[in-house]
Amino acid sequence: MTTLASPGVHTDLVGQPVLDAERKHYLNHSKGFLSWALTLDHKRIAIMYLVGVLGAFLLGGVMAIVLRTMLLFNTDVLAGEAMKEAAVTNFYNQAFTIHGAVMVFMFIIPAIPGVIGNFVLPMMVGAIDVAFPRLNLMSFYCWLVGSLFFGAVLFSGGLDTGWTFYTPYSIQTTTAATMAVLGAFILGFASILTGVNFVATVHMMRPEGQGWFQLPLLIWALYSTAIIQILATPVLAITLLLLAAERVLGVGIFDPALGGDPVLFQHFFWFYSHPAVYIMILPGLGVVSEIISVFSRKHIFGYKFIAFSSLAIALFGFIVWGHHMFTSGQGWLLSAIFSLLTMSVAIPSAVKVFNWLATMYRGRIRLDTPMLYAMGFIWLFTIGGLTGLFLAALNTDIHFHDTYFVVAHFHYVMVGSTLFAFIGGLYFWWPKITGKMYDEFWGKVGAWTVFAGFNLTFFIQFLAGSRGMPRRYANYPDEYIPYHHISTAGSYLLTLGLFIVAFNWIHSLMKGKPAPANPWGANGLEWQSMSPPAHLNFDAPPKVGDPYNFDGWKYDKDIDAYVMKDDYDEIMAKGAH
Amino acid sequence: MKKSTALGILATWIVVLVLGVLSIFVDWMPHDGGGFSKDVDWLFYFIYAVNVIFFLLIGGLMFTFALQGKQTDEDKDEVVHGATHNTAIELIWTAPPVIIVLLCFLWGFRGYLDMAQMPPQSADAYLVDVEAYQWAWQFTHENGAIVAGANYAKDEAGKESGAILDIPADRPVEFRLSARDVLHGLYFPHQRIKKDCVPGRYNRMWVTVSSKDIDERNAEQREQGFDVDPQGRFADFPLYCTEYCGQNHSQMNGILRVWKPSYWKEQLDVLNIWNKENETPTDWGQYIHAGFGGCVACHSVDGSANTGPTWKGLWNQQRKGKPVDEQYLLEAIYQPTKYYVEGYEGVAMASYAGQLNYGDVQGVIAYIKSLSDVPEDEIMQSFPADRDLYDGTQWIDDQGNAIEPPPLD
């Protein structure tokens, strides 16, 4: 047993992982299946979430490649064999539905809160765990059970409603819509429980001296996300239950044949699912705020504006759902109000981008893999955000609604941005989570490949959409062939890039160098723990300071990492300048 | 500043400039086919300019900052100290987005009001009733002519099939949209307008296409090597279903055919003559098949395969030990899931109960008989009198009295 040194003593802090292979940390302090399956440790739950959401991402990704490949051939190969053509069309419809549903409910929504949030949020407030560890474990099992329902859908008729479950088609389809709806219902609880936990943790478990404005911006983002998760997800839950009741019991709520109203479903559905878009993107915005500041070696610019813009996005997100229904026949006044409210979301989003740029201005930019992803994020989020203007404005949206323009837009925002923040965040906290360093060269190769592949896949879809290509089409008129060919080529490049990322991670786990405690010189509390952290996170109570004041750490060439200065406390007391 | 850094920054802004210039030449919108194109395109290109300028500035600055301050091995210890906040700057750079989004909103709202405000009924507006169903369109004209179909196609002989929506030029045309089963959406990309077809309610949309638009469209099509009407009487524009509606969602492409006013009356008569010619039950069945029944979406009449079995030679075939006869067909139309034909398991046809009445079904049966070389005098033999029948709402005996439904076997 080595001495548990205070984190101020840098030899122990950074030397220990190398010197002491016997060191007990959260990964090896107990062994066996049950020590994981019944763990209450937020870090182990984060690892289980990581494995789970990456599995979901693989499933959703396979479906994406299947549908892009089908669009490459435009089902012409089977022309003349109409029975097969019908089978192919059905298969396509299932592929895009499962791609969307799996990616949204099982990957993007839980990814950053479930993995990165679970791992670092308690550590960022210097706690040993979240406020309700058992609820946290239950959240993961809700995710698992919900996902198993979706797995069962694949083997019991599939699903062809689109991830939106629009009525009345979702009531009439013979595919396993009821099972999928119940799966999404259960997945919703996973999300709610994570949100409750984060709110309670941030409120109750901050250490002495850490006020709201000493919190890292990721926490502000996760907190804003949690508000949406808690307030919006129940609406989805009841909507999906009503849908299931209609399918199973024939209660007429949404189906006009039974006296219901199909547009009511759209209102209910988007009342959750538009805020859910911000469940997907807000944590990404938080991750990027962390990376940009640390890798610019400079205090974040406009902390309060970034923090409050997260809250503003979360609150505005609740009152814009009607912009999904401009063509549904809702009244013109309603459409106008929703259009105006939607425009308001652009402002906090723009404020964030400007503040990141101001942070980078005159920074000492360290162009490592996490920073490449963060810059990729800014690029994609800017395109995604700016193209949102076309869709928020009323008469241009009438043209673009349900075309590939919308597909491209939301992939830039939800997928490009969130995926880049997720991968970038994982690279950023990878040394902390795994205790291993990754290969920087292949990290950068992967980042550039994913970036090129993503833009090739989706930018061309803006053009296809503005020229009229409707979404969810198994085959399409000849004039759209070039767009689809380019897009499919891009999707293969994107896949290649993601495999490079995956192999880099696997290589790091197997062959990676032991990670120092603070490889980036960051000042979040989590960097005061060892890599990987001990079972109870910190060996000594972490010292609280401005998370973006990097003066308290100095670079140590021998270990290629940063160690805490002896006069850390005085430096923090002086404050950022 | 090092020379390589300066070159990198220079290269960044050259790329920005090149991209900026290239962006001018991208032709984003489809050909202007009248309707709301002018208005929508104006706003589109305004927002597009905003997009390009902001994006290139942000991208260019981001790369410039990254190159300018790139960390080297020597300065890893350096922490940059500068302003950490500046409320004045925050407020100043919040202003342009606020102004721009308000402009976008107002401009979009103004254009949208034109779309949402139907032309007055008393004006010379022309009304077409559009009913969408899985998976075809049905267009009912003011004179009662009904045209229906799904995927538009033209064979080598020039014979057209599928959905053609004929409308007159130079006057507002209003579309009254509804759906029979699930959501559909009617979309004219060249007129920049779409609206959902929602079961249980009427939605309305309208366009005006001018004769000039017809000539321009034909000139554009000719330039691209497509056939156009030699006399230039009409021009064709695509129409799509844009609300996902199940299996053959992508097979609901049709043609919006806009006629010059001087040819319109004649065309309306042409559409109507086809209705009047349906005199015998066989004709009526053929009309239901190709027209408002929409059977053509799934059942071919020439033996070729499709989503459902072909009707050619169907009569008297053996299906699970039973011959295809009147009773079988009646049940297959009203209770389609009762019998699954081998090879078509899982293809869910919707029941036509309540949509095709007893006479309609007789027409369909007569038509199927005629496709199976049944002699003409046998086609009109009525249903056997000793069978119980389903009339679309209830089971009846041969006297026409309502009875308990027979057990399903």
B94 at A interface, C-beta within 8 A: yes
At residue A81, the pLDDT reads 54
Give the C-alpha separation, B92 to A282, whole Å: 24
B 254-273 residues inside an 8 A Cβ radius of A: none
Q: Tell me the average pLDDT across A27-48.
A: 94
Is residue A576 very low, low, confident or very high in pLDDT (cuts 50, 70, 90)?
low
Asked if the Cβ–Cβ distance from A550 to B79 is below 8 Å, we say yes
CA dihedral for A308, A309, A312, A317, sign (positive or negative): negative
What global pTM score does this model have? 0.86
Q: Give the side-chain half-sphere CA count within 13 A for A430.
A: 26
Tell whether B99 lies on the interface with A, counting CB pairs under 8 A.
no
Cα separation of A516 and A14, whole Å?
Answer: 5
Nearest CA in chain A to B241: A470
Q: Which of A7-16, A22-31, A85-94, A399-408 has the highest mean pLDDT?
A: A399-408
Q: What are the φ/ψ torsions at residue B146 (nearest 5 degrees)? A: -115, 125
Pairwise CB contact (< 8 Å): B250 & A89: yes
Structure tokens at A571: 């430096």
Provide the β-strand partners of residue A436.
A514
Contact assignment for B187 to A402 by CB distance below 8 Å: yes
Residue A353 near chain B (CB below 8 Å): yes
8 Å CB contact of A303 and B304: no
Closest by CA position to A25, among listed A538, A551, A567: A538
Length of chain A: 577
| Sign of the alpha-carbon dihedral angle for B394, B400, B404, B409 | negative
Lowest mean pLDDT among A29-38, A501-510, B92-101, B152-161: B152-161
Q: What is the mean pLDDT of residues B6-27?
A: 94
Is B97 in contact with A346 (Cβ distance < 8 A)?
Answer: yes
Q: Which residues of B touch A351 (CB under 8 A)?
A: 90, 93-94, 97
Q: What angle do CA B396, B398, B399 make, to 5 degrees?
A: 85
Say if the Cβ atoms of A378 and B62 lie within 8 Å: yes
Q: Is residue A330 within 8 angstroms of chain B, CB to CB?
A: no
Q: Amino acid letter at A445?
A: V
What DSSP state is assigned to residue B322?
Answer: E
pLDDT at A2 over 60: no
Can you give the pLDDT at residue B307?
Answer: 82
Contacting residues of B for A82, CB less than 8 Å apart: 300, 304-307
How much is the mean pLDDT over chain B?
A: 85
Find tokens 């044949």 and name the residue. Answer: A257
Q: Is A257 on the interface with B (CB under 8 A)?
A: yes
The separation between CA A314 and the C-alpha centre of its own chain, rounded to angstroms, equals 15
Cα nearest neighbour of A560 on chain B: B76
Q: Which of A345, A398, A471 to mutate to test the interface with B (most CBs of B within 10 A)?
A: A398
Residues A108-117 have a mean pLDDT of 95
| Residues in B touching A172 (Cβ below 8 Å) | 181-182, 350
Inform me whether the pLDDT recorded for A7 exceeds 50. Answer: no
Q: Which residues contact A243 (CB under 8 A, 6 or more apart)?
A: A165, A167, A170, A171, A177, A181, A253, A254, A265
All residues of chain A having their beta carbon less than 8 Å from the beta carbon of residue B246 are 93, 160, 169, 173
Residue numbers of A between 297 and 326 with CB closer than 8 Å to B: 297-305, 326
How confident is the model over B35-63, as pLDDT tens digits?
Answer: 999 999 999 999 999 999 999 999 999 99
Q: What DSSP letter does each residue of A81-130 carry, written as one string?
A: -HHHHHHHHHHHHHHHHHHHHIIIIIIIHHIIIIIIIHHHHHHHTT-SS-
H/E stretch holding B116: helix B87-116
Contact with chain A for residue B83, Cβ under 8 A:
yes
pLDDT at B360: 74
Tens digit of each residue's pLDDT (9 = 90 or more) over A46-101: 999 999 999 999 999 999 999 999 999 876 544 445 556 778 888 999 999 999 99
SS (H, E, C) A190-227: HHHHHHHHHHHHHHHCCCCCCCHHHCCHHHHHHHHHHH
pLDDT reading at B202 higher than 60: yes
Residue A4: is its pLDDT beyond 50? no
Q: Does B30 lie at the interface with A, CB-CB under 8 angstroms?
A: yes
Show which of residues 508-537 on chain A sit within 8 Å of chain B, judged by CB atoms. 521
**ipTM of the prediction:** 0.91
A363 burial level (CB within 10 Å; 0-12, 13-18, 19+) = buried
Whether residue B93 lies within 8 A of chain A, CB to CB, comes out as yes
- Nearest Cα to A544, choosing from A124, A5, A203, A14? A124
In chain B, the residue whose alpha carbon lies closest to the alpha carbon of A168 is: B182
% of chain A residues with pLDDT over 90? 82
Provide the pLDDT for residue B404: 64
Q: Which residues contact B50 (CB under 8 A, 6 or more apart)?
A: A386, A389, B100, B104
Is A470 near chain B, with CB under 8 Å? Answer: yes
pLDDT at B122: 59
Quick one: tokens of A143? Answer: 């995710």
pLDDT at site B65: 95
Q: Chain B neighbours among A 557-576 (CB < 8 Å)?
A: 576
Tell me what the pLDDT averaged over chain A comes to: 91
Q: For B32, name the nearest residue in chain A, comparing CA atoms only.
A: A467
pLDDT digits (tens, 9 = 90+) for A296-315: 999 999 999 999 999 999 99
Flag whether residue B102 sits within 8 Å of chain A, measured between CB atoms: yes
pLDDT computed for residue B244 by the predictor? 95
Structure tokens at B76: 């890893």
Q: Which of A562, A557, A571 is nearest to A517 (CA)?
A: A562
- Report the pLDDT averaged over residues B101-107: 95
Chosen for mutation from A327, A400, A563 (greatest number of chain B CBs closer than 10 Å) is A327
Please state the rounded mean pLDDT for residues B21-28.
Answer: 93
Q: Do A576 and B101 touch (CB under 8 A)?
A: no
Distance set, CA A119 to CA A308, A525, B195 (Å): 24, 12, 46
What's the CA gap between A288 and A310, in Å, rounded?
A: 13
**B233 and chain A in contact, CB less than 8 A:** no
The answer to whether the bond into B261 is cis (omega within 30° of 0) is no
Range 288-347 of B in CB contact (< 8 A) with A? 300, 304-307, 343-344, 346-347
Query: Is the predicted pLDDT of residue B389 greater than 80, yes or no?
Result: no
**Chain A residue with the nearest C-alpha to that of B196:** A328
Q: Report pLDDT for A1.
A: 32
Give residue B195's identity as a one-letter amino acid code: K
A:B CB pairs within 8 Å: 296
Most confident of A296-310, B79-93, B311-325: A296-310
pLDDT band at A520 (very low <50, low <70, confident <90, very high): very high
pLDDT attached to residue B174: 92
Q: Which residues in chain A (94-153) have CB-CB distances under 8 A to chain B? A: none
- Chain B residues with CB under 8 Å of A99 CB are none
Looking at this protein, which amino acid is placed at residue B365? Answer: I
Q: What is the pLDDT of residue A65?
A: 95
Which pLDDT does position B274 carry in this prediction? 54
Whether the pLDDT of residue A405 is over 90: the answer is yes
**Residue B83: in which H helix or E strand, if any?**
none
Please compute the mean of the pLDDT values over residues B191-203 and round it to a whole number. Answer: 92
More confidently predicted of B382 and A172: A172
Q: Is the pLDDT of residue B386 over 90?
A: no
**Residue A403 at interface with chain B, using a CB cutoff of 8 Å:** yes
Reported as half-sphere exposure (CB side, CA atoms, 13 A), residue B284 has a value of 15
Count of C-beta atoms within a 10 Å radius of residue A304: 13
Contacts of A361 in chain B (CB under 8 A): 61, 65, 82
pLDDT, residue B406, reads 53
Residue A19: the pLDDT is: 46
Using pLDDT thresholds of 50, 70 and 90, give the confidence band for residue B321: confident
Residue B359 in contact with partner chain A when CB distance is under 8 A: no
Structure confidence at residue B295 (pLDDT)? 87
Cα-based distances in Å from B133 to A89, A221, B358 = 18, 45, 21
In this prediction, residue B67 carries a pLDDT of 92
Residue-wise pLDDT for A66-77, tens only, equals 999 999 987 654
pLDDT band per the 50, 70, 90 thresholds, residue A374: very high
**What is the structure's pLDDT at B306?**
81
Residues of A in contact with B240 (CB under 8 A): 468, 470
Closest B-chain CA to A462: B28
**Lowest-pLDDT range of A15-24, A240-249, A308-317:** A15-24
Give me the residue from A354, A382, A395 closest to B112, CB to CB: A395
Helices (H), A393-480: 394-400, 404-410, 418-434, 440-466
B353: tokens are 């109960």
CA distances, A431 to each of A122, A364, A447, A515, B244 (Å)? 17, 22, 18, 5, 45
Is B201's CB within 8 Å of A463's CB? Answer: no
pLDDT above 80 for B379: no
The DSSP-derived string for A366-411 is ---HHHHHHHHHHHHHHHHHHHHHHHHSHHHHHHHTTBHHHHHHHI
**CA distance from start to end of chain B:** 88
> Between A244 and B326, where is the model more confident?
A244
